[in-house]
Amino acid sequence: MGSAAVQTERDGDPPFTEKFFSQVVDHFNFNSLGNATFNQRYLITDRFWKKSFGPIFFYTGNEGDIWEFALNSGFILELAAQQEALVIFAEHRYYGRSLPFGNQSFSIPEVGLLTVEQALADYALMITELKLQLAAAQSPVIVFGGSYGGMLSVYMRLKYPNIVAGALAASAPILSTAGFGDPRQFFRDVTAVSLGEQIRLKRPVACDTMLGGSDLLTNLRDTAGTEPALGLWKHFKNCEGLADSLQRCFVPAGMVYNSSGLLPCFDLYRLYVECADPTGCGLGFNSLAWDYQACTEIEMCYESNNVTDMFPPMTFTQEARQLYCSKRWGVQPRPGWLRIQFWGDDLSTASNIIFSNGDLDPWANGGVRNSLSPSLIAINISDGAHHLDLRGSNAADPESVVKARKMEAELIAAWVKMERVRFRQSH
């Protein structure tokens, strides 16, 4: 296995060079495909690297084109500049341009090699081979990921601790996607965050014309469960003088929202693209890949009810999942498999993992919110959105995000130092 010649370096983008790694198609079956390989894309920059000494920061690509993640994870480059690291962003098999069977990758049975385990083995082999090629045997490896990529970074540390010294898992819903928790949590939290944001931005509310003041406060508190009720009263000052403005809004709003009740309702369900992820799979090949993963290992049995959330009622039970996946892909999901394969919620014997979550992220409560040990650290970011801490620094960043990045940088530096000590003791 090895790397193909340099393909491109994009003008105006972060200093990455795009390359391809000759990757094994099937890591776990020596007969079906032998040593057949495919071209797996990765992005690399050694701009900040202290060769053969500095650490390697490796992003475990998730469900999309790897450039999307590289261009939205500026914190990793900032950290690389501080710690003299080599940076690699690896594309997940079956996404972007890393298609093991080209345009036939989503045919049956070819799609069957799209699994979490195969993806992790891809990353483990790529890290090992690139360390040899780059004379980086003594360079500690820290893995990074956001959302599903954050799940993969956790799994890499669990499954390959001999290769990976630590993991930063940003906004990783490793519990909810393994079948833990309330299936209504995601859509309820989306609603709570949306309502909380409207309050924060002081958008007009109909005040006494909608509900009594105390009733409205109670309603807001119950709906926006993660938003503290204390201090909400000051926002009702916004209602002063709004009567005329609200009256002017009623006529056009009534036209849009059918206040007369005489028009037929707009059928939202007709726009819904059926897939095994109720939050949406997207379009194109990437959507096919994610749909298949949600049909096999990753559990996305979330539901909305229009009572605890603002969405039209939609249930997606394990039974509904089985029916859809059998019809679409000819597979039967295996509920609970991620719990068996990747430790479920019993992670206390692991080490060197950061679980960062933002309170404004509806995925947050599907992840680890409390530290499990001195080296399994939960960082809760009060003003953080979905893996905002992985983005590059910005003058508008909330203080909580700045503090989270500082803590993450300190922990990662400590892990790198510990790994160097381990190298010296073992050689």
Looking only at the bridges linking them, the beta strands covering 141-146 and 56-60 are parallel
Residue 293: DSSP 8-state = H
Q: Annotated catalytic residue: which of 147, 153, 304, 400?
A: 147
> Which pLDDT score is estimated for 200?
55
> Which pLDDT score is estimated for 343?
87
260 is an active site residue = no
> Which pLDDT score is estimated for 214?
45
Give residues with Cβ within 8 angstroms of 250, minimum separation 6: 259
Give the domains, in start order, of the chain with CATH numbers. Answer: 17-179+339-426 (3.40.50.1820), 185-266 (no CATH), 273-335 (no CATH)
Give the other-Cβ count within 10 Å of 177's Cβ. Answer: 25
> Which pLDDT score is estimated for 314?
85
Q: In the chain, which residues have pLDDT < 70?
A: 1-14, 196-272
> Which pLDDT score is estimated for 229?
39
386 is an active site residue = yes
92 is an active site residue = no
Quick one: which of 71, 70, 60, 147 has its CA closest to 361?
Answer: 147
Looking only at the bridges linking them, the beta strands covering 86-90 and 37-45 are antiparallel
> Which pLDDT score is estimated for 71?
93
Residue 225: DSSP 8-state = T
> Which pLDDT score is estimated for 265?
66
> Which pLDDT score is estimated for 361?
86
> Which pLDDT score is estimated for 64?
95
Q: Annotated catalytic residue: which of 361, 389, 397, 400?
A: 361
Strands (E), 309-375: 353-358
> Which pLDDT score is estimated for 81?
97
Strands (E), 174-318: none
Q: Angle of helix 148-159 relative to helix 116-133, nearest 10 degrees?
A: 70
**What is the distance between the alpha carbons of residues 26 and 319, in angstroms, rounded to a whole number?**
30
**What is the distance between the alpha carbons of residues 165 and 142, in angstroms, rounded to a whole number?**
6
Start-end of H helices in 224-270 = 243-257
3-state secondary structure of 258: coil
Cβ(205)–Cβ(239) under 8 Å? yes
Start-end of H helices in 37-134 = 66-70, 74-83, 116-133
> Which pLDDT score is estimated for 243?
53
Q: Annotated catalytic residue: which of 22, 26, 194, 386?
A: 386
Q: Angle of helix 74-83 relative to helix 399-426, nearest 10 degrees?
A: 50
Give the total residue count for the chain. Answer: 427
**What is the distance between the alpha carbons of residues 15 and 283, in angstroms, rounded to a whole number?**
29
Tokens of 109: 């049975």
Tokens of 84: 């003299």
Tokens of 15: 């200093």
Q: What is the pLDDT of residues 224-259, one digit of tens each?
A: 443 333 344 344 445 555 455 555 555 555 555 555
